[in-house]
């Protein structure tokens, strides 16, 4: 993932790459932006508050946290429909949708957007919000 990112921002001296485990990593204390992409759904619900607090402490005043991730809908009925559409999408792209769904249920821990926004607020962030959403994917952002 770091190599893929480097190809997108090649030549920039404004990006710092760090390899580590985001469950325990200390990110620093003057970051302008922290980005998480399709990774936070691997955190258990109980791990999220301390993660968000570490990200908050790592940001310089006015810094931003942006996360693109898997989410679940607040409505159980909508959630069922979204998962059905996701499984159908996987099948349409040559994958076994049911197999992927079983793997997702076994290892992933997505949250509702409302829960993410609440947790970000509780960690100290201001102006948390959802800026894009499609089925069971969303982008949330918040500032220090």
Domain holding 52: CATH number? Answer: 3.40.50.150
Task: Give the E-state strand segments of the chain in sequence order.
Answer: 31-37, 59-72, 111-112, 126-134, 137-143
In a domain, 95, yes or no: no
The pTM assigned to this predicted structure is 0.89
Q: Give residue 63's domain range.
A: 31-74+108-143
Q: How far is CA 140 from the centre of its chain?
A: 8
Please tell me the predicted confidence (pLDDT) of residue 77: 96
Query: What three-state secondary structure class fits 45?
Result: helix
In a domain, 82, yes or no: no
Token code pair at residue 68: 């693109």
pLDDT of 57 over the 90 cut: yes
User: Residue 18 in contact with residue 27, Cβ under 8 Å?
Assistant: yes
In a domain, 133, yes or no: yes
CA distances 89 to 79, 92, 98, 135, Å, are 15, 5, 11, 11
pLDDT band at 84 (very low <50, low <70, confident <90, very high): very high
For 18-51, the pLDDT digits (tens) are 788 989 888 888 999 999 999 999 999 999 999 9
In a domain, 80, yes or no: no
In a domain, 11, yes or no: no
In a domain, 40, yes or no: yes
pLDDT, average across residues 111-129: 98
pLDDT of 6 over the 90 cut: no
Domains contained in the chain, number: 1
- Of 136, 1, 118, nearest to 48 (Cα)? 118
Q: How far is CA 2 from the centre of its chain?
A: 16
pLDDT, average across residues 97-112: 96
| Residue, of 83 and 12, whose pLDDT is higher | 83
In a domain, 100, yes or no: no
- Any bridge partners for residue 138, and if so which? 69, 133
pLDDT of 70 over the 90 cut: yes
pLDDT of 10 over the 90 cut: no
In a domain, 88, yes or no: no
């Amino acid at each position: 993932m770091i190599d893929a990112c480097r190809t997108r921002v090649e030549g920039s001296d404004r990006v710092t790459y760090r390899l580590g485990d985001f469950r325990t990593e200390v990110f620093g204390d003057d970051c302008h932006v922290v980005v998480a992409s399709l990774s936070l759904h691997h955190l258990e619900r109980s791990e999220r508050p301390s993660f968000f607090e570490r990200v908050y402490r790592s940001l310089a005043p006015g810094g931003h946290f942006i996360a693109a991730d898997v989410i679940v809908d607040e409505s159980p009925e909508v959630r069922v429909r979204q998962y059905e559409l996701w499984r159908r999408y996987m099948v349409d792209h040559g994958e076994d949708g049911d197999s992927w769904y079983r793997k997702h249920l076994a290892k992933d821990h997505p949250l509702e957007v409302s829960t993410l926004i609440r947790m970000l607020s509780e960690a100290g962030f201001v102006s948390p919000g959802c800026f894009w959403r499609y089925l069971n994917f969303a982008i949330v952002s918040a500032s220090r």
